[in-house]
Amino acid sequence: RYYLISSFLMLLLTAAAFYLLIRLMKNQELYAQARMSFTSNMTHELQTPISTISVALESIKKYHLIDQPEKLENYLNISRHELQRLQAMIEKVLKQEQMDLGKAKLQFSLFDIQPVLQQVIFAMEVQVREKNTALILLQSDEPYFIKGDAMHISNVCYNLIDNALKYSPSQSKIEVSCSVADHKLTISFKDNGPGINEIYQQQVFERFFRIFNQDNIHNVKGSGLGLHYVKQVVELHGGRADLHSKPGKGSNFMIILPLYEEN
């Protein structure tokens, strides 16, 4: 009898070990796939501005545009714009890398979140205009103080608004608002874009994860790093990131942070 029980337990343990091993391999396989598509995405994204800049510079030389100030300015403007894009992309990857290595030193201070949101929205004016989108901050008269790293929190808000803009069709509406409940501040970023299927709602916060489908709106370039960065920063502040969404009904990304209250 003892022999039977111990054999059964051994069998159970072996099955459990196999199951865990297969799961681990599956996760690693998924991770390797995600990393590969990240590398090809990034290579593509870096190549595009580099070739645009080289073509612009070659043209300046080939067609002696030094003597044609108007055309010269046009080509220089294109090059400058592409360089800025390149710089922003590289910074995004480096920031993420720092976070992953736990190197990023957060500098905590006490600040009101609303002016931070106003600044982020102000910085996005050109993109908002290009897409003819209504980006609205539902202001409140009272300040909402948090203790955190203003730069990283501002990057988080930027990423969430940037995604709302990227994935929504033009002429849509994005609403940013703050609310307080249970000593916690919720900042909500609501769009009426394509929405996210329930099966992907946790995965979108994973490193490199992107949703691929035939839908044009989702066929936007990206790195799959933005939401992972959001999650990491918010968690380093003792908060969490959340998502309510339904396909075809838009998305509501939320970050929930401890509210600073005196005494």
Closer CB to ligand ADP, 187 or 227, in the complex:
227
Which position among 65, 116, 187, 227 is part of the footprint of ligand ADP (CB under 6 A)?
Answer: 227
**With contact defined as beta carbons under 8 Å apart, do 186 and 172 qualify?**
no
Q: How far apart are CA 198 and CA 106, in angstroms?
A: 32
3 state SS of 139: coil
Any contact of residue 226 with ligand ADP (CB under 6 A)? yes
**Tokens standing for 134?**
């209504």
Rank residues 147 and 244 by Cβ distance to ligand ADP and give the closer one.
244
From residue 178, alpha-carbon distances to 137, 152, 159, 166, 190 in Å are: 9, 18, 17, 22, 11
Stretch that binds ligand ADP, among 1-9, 60-68, 149-157, 222-230 (CB under 6 A): 222-230
Residue closer to ligand ADP by CB (options 174, 178) is 174
Assign residue 193 a region (left: φ > 0; alpha: ψ between -120 and 50; beta: otherwise).
beta
Interacting stretch for ligand ADP, rule CB under 6 A, among 11-19, 45-53, 150-158, 205-213?
205-213
Tell me which of 156, 176, 204, 257 binds ligand ADP, using CB under 6 A. Answer: 204
Exposure b/e, 189-219, CB count within 10 A at least 16 = b: bbbbbbbbeeebbeebbbbbbbeeeeeeebe
The closest alpha carbon to 135, from 123, 150, 152, belongs to: 123
Q: How many Å apart are CA 218 and CA 169, to the nearest integer?
A: 10
Q: Considering the complex, state which of residue 53 and residue 165 has its C-beta at the smaller distance from ligand ADP.
A: 165
Q: Which residue lies nearer to ligand ADP by CB, 112 or 162?
A: 162
Binding mask 158-197 for ligand ADP (x = CB under 6 A): -----xx--x-----------------------x-xx-x-
Instruction: Find how far residue 3's CA is from the centre of its chain.
Output: 56
By the rule CB under 6 A, 218 interacts with ligand ADP? yes
CA–CA dist 242, 175 (Å, integer): 16
Using the minimum distance from each CB to ligand ADP, give the nearer residue, 79 or 251.
251
Q: Do 77 and 99 meet the contact criterion of CB atoms below 8 Å apart?
A: no
By CB under 6 A, name the one of 82, 96, 186, 210 that touches ligand ADP. Answer: 210
CB of 253 to ligand ADP, least distance (A): 6
What are φ and ψ of residue 82, in 5° steps? -65, -35
At 83, list the tokens: 């360089």
Q: How far is the CB of 248 from ligand ADP (least distance, A)?
A: 11
Among the candidate windows 9-17, 73-81, 210-218, 231-239, which touches ligand ADP by CB under 6 A?
Answer: 210-218
Residues contributing to the site for ligand ADP (CB under 6 A): 163-164, 167, 191, 193-194, 196, 204, 209-211, 218, 222-228, 251
